[in-house]
């Protein structure tokens, strides 16, 4: 296998496998070697499945040897955020609470990727219970941004973004409750899709906020993203919120043409707190799309500023309910105590980290007697207004466009002392989850050597339209081909 092969996209690797230029075993071994080389610096993985991955690769190689035809993801090494259940493989959710939890079943996405013949390299670091925007809330490790090790990778799917950005996996799956796929994708310079709520099954995804959580792919380019969506999307009987819809072949939307498409720029996404350099970078991306024939104009989503408080009330209320199950009885951490109430309290106080407890507290308060109407119900009503903003905008526009995050990646510790400041940086991503619509983040340039992302938002189940615009942008720019310099150094070191 040639040195540069590890940087190749899923579709390029598929060609190499199909033409017997490399074997899946060689490819998998190359990824494992690279993980060993980079992990001391990056810490994207919580679990690496060396033996299992090589065994899976051997199965694919036997099929190739027997003249079998490979499907598009078959033999491709990938990794999953550690909140998706993998039978027999620890699934920790980044928490002490689940440090020793080994699921007795697979999440639907795990089954589907297995059925597609992918190779599971391991499980990826994340903010505890997916609560956070920097992966600093993981109980286990501090994942670093490969573009600059002093900076956070974003979160909560920080490990999933880093693994793809640093070529430690062909692709990865993350989950997105308020931006947790898109924001780390932007911070690490990869493509990240948050699908429509209900497009991908949540069965076996450890719940944070059930009405907002959604699984999606992080990939090196837009084509790969569409290929992974083909494998994971679709109705599932095991998730009653999964929507029965006719799943398209998402690769059919990959055309280099956006002539006449109407793109709206919501002005509220450029409020205070936005880095002027990020705004400038996105503006130049918008110009590229105009040059390619898109019709771009400004628009308004008037309730945007209310999205943060509405989101944090709804998400924490749902979290306080979902996380009530961690009581030390059926699975997870248990602290010993004389009586059962003491056991519940000590287990939860020792098993959860500070951000998780903070959100349980806020959510419990918002749902408590006397405050339910003022906070939770009010937030649900505001959610309706936010959704209506989008409905109106999509009567006029095919897609909406904004920066994925108001700033590039920040330094470790920069925001962790002030929870509210951390929450406010989610302004460009949380409205999308409240409305349940799809959005994709694609690489759109650099500010001070750190990647920035452009976010495209679409109507419910219009992932195809997002892929079309994203693909066209990608075909006419080179941001997605640039690699963190650090990974080139280590690549050179590893190949000697």
Catalytic residue positions, numbered:
81, 156, 180
CA distances from 22 to 75, 348, 492 (A): 11, 49, 20
Q: Which is nearer to another protein, 25 or 175 (CB)?
A: 175
Q: Are 173 and 192 in contact (CB under 8 A)?
A: no
Q: Which is nearer to another protein, 300 or 364 (CB)?
A: 364
Helices 222-232 and 108-115: crossing angle in degrees, nearest 10, is 110
Q: Which of 208, 250, 344, 394 binds another protein (CB under 8 A)?
A: 344
Q: Which of 334, 415, 468, 480 binds another protein (CB under 8 A)?
A: 334
Q: What tokens does 158 get? A: 């920080």
Q: Are 234 and 243 in contact (CB under 8 A)?
A: no
Q: Are 22 and 1 in contact (CB under 8 A)?
A: yes
User: In whole angstroms, what is the distance from residue 477 CA to residue 446 CA?
Assistant: 13
Handedness of CA 458, 460, 465, 466 (dihedral sign): positive
Q: Are 98 and 91 in contact (CB under 8 A)?
A: yes
Closest approach of another protein to the CB of residue 89, in Å: 13
Residue 129 contacts another protein per CB under 8 A = no
Closest approach of another protein to the CB of residue 348, in Å: 5
Question: Measuring CA to CA, which residue among 477, 123, 157, 449 is closest to residue 288?
Answer: 477
Q: What tokens does 452 get? A: 């920035």
Contact set for another protein, span 72-111 (CB under 8 A): 100-102, 104-105
Q: Are 225 and 262 in contact (CB under 8 A)?
A: no
Residue 379 contacts another protein per CB under 8 A = yes
Q: Which of 160, 227, 405, 437 binds another protein (CB under 8 A)?
A: 437
Contact set for another protein, span 176-215 (CB under 8 A): 196-198, 211
Contact set for another protein, span 210-249 (CB under 8 A): 211, 237, 240-241, 243
Q: Which of 272, 338, 478, 496 binds another protein (CB under 8 A)?
A: 338
User: x-or-dash pattern for another protein, window 287-326, by CB under 8 A?
Assistant: ----------------x-xx-xxx-xx------x---x--
Q: Which of 19, 69, 420, 478 binds another protein (CB under 8 A)?
A: 420
Residue 346 contacts another protein per CB under 8 A = yes
Q: Which is nearer to another protein, 55 or 237 (CB)?
A: 237
Residue 342 contacts another protein per CB under 8 A = yes
CA distances from 452 to 22, 293, 308, 439 (A): 34, 23, 21, 15
Helices 10-18 and 222-232: crossing angle in degrees, nearest 10, is 80
Q: Which of 31, 203, 208, 423 binds another protein (CB under 8 A)?
A: 423
Stretch that binds another protein, among 36-44, 110-118, 355-363, 407-415 (CB under 8 A): 355-363
């Amino acid at each position: 296998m040639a040195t540069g092969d590890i940087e190749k996209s899923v579709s390029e690797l598929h060609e190499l496998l199909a033409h017997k230029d490399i074997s899946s075993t060689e490819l998998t071994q190359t990824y494992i070697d690279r993980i060993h080389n980079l992990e001391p610096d990056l810490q994207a993985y919580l679990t690496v499945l060396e033996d299992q991955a090589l065994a899976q690769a051997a199965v694919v190689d036997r099929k190739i040897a027997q003249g079998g035809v490979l499907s598009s993801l078959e033999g491709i090494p990938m990794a999953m955020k550690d909140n998706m259940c993998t039978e027999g493989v620890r699934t920790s959710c980044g928490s002490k609470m689940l440090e020793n939890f080994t699921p007795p079943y697979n999440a639907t996405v795990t089954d589907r990727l297995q059925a597609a013949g992918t190779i599971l390299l391991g499980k990826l670091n994340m903010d505890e219970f997916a609560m956070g925007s920097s992966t600093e809330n993981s109980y286990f490790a501090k994942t670093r941004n490969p573009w600059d090790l002093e900076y956070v990778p974003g979160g909560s799917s920080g490990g999933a973004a880093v693994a793809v950005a640093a070529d430690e996996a062909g692709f990865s799956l993350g989950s997105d409750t308020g931006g947790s796929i898109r924001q780390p994708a932007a911070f690490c310079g990869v493509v990240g899709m948050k699908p429509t709520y209900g497009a991908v099954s949540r069965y076996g995804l450890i719940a944070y906020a059930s009405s907002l959580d959604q699984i999606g792919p992080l990939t090196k380019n837009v084509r790969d993203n569409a290929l992974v969506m083909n494998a994971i999307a679709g109705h599932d009987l095991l998730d009653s919120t999964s929507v029965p819809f006719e799943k398209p072949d998402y690769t059919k939307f990959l055309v280099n043409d956006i002539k006449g498409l109407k793109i709206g720029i919501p002005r509220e996404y450029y409020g205070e707190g936005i880095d002027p350099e990020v705004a400038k970078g996105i503006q130049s991306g918008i110009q590229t799309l105009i040059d390619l024939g898109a019709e771009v104009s400004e628009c308004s989503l008037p309730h945007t500023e209310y999205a943060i408080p509405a989101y944090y009330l709804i998400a924490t209320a749902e979290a306080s309910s979902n996380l009530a199950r961690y009581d030390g009885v059926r699975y997870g951490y248990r602290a010993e105590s004389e009586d059962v109430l003491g056991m519940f309290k000590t287990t939860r106080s020792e098993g959860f980290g500070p951000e998780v407890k903070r959100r349980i507290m806020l959510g419990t308060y918002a749902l408590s007697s006397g405050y339910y109407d003022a906070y939770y119900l009010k937030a649900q009503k505001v959610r309706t207004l936010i959704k209506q903003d989008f409905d109106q905008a999509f009567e006029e526009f095919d897609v909406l466009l904004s920066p994925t995050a108001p700033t590039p990646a920040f330094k470790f510790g920069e925001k962790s002392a002030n929870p509210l400041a951390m929450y406010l940086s989610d302004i460009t991503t949380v409205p999308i989850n409240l409305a349940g619509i799809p959005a994709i983040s694609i690489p759109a340039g650099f500010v001070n050597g750190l990647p920035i992302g452009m976010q495209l938002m679409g109507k419910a189940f219009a992932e195809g339209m997002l892929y079309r615009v994203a693909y066209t942008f990608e075909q006419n720019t080179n941001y997605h081909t640039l690699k963190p310099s650090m990974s080139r150094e280590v690549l050179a070191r590893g190949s000697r």
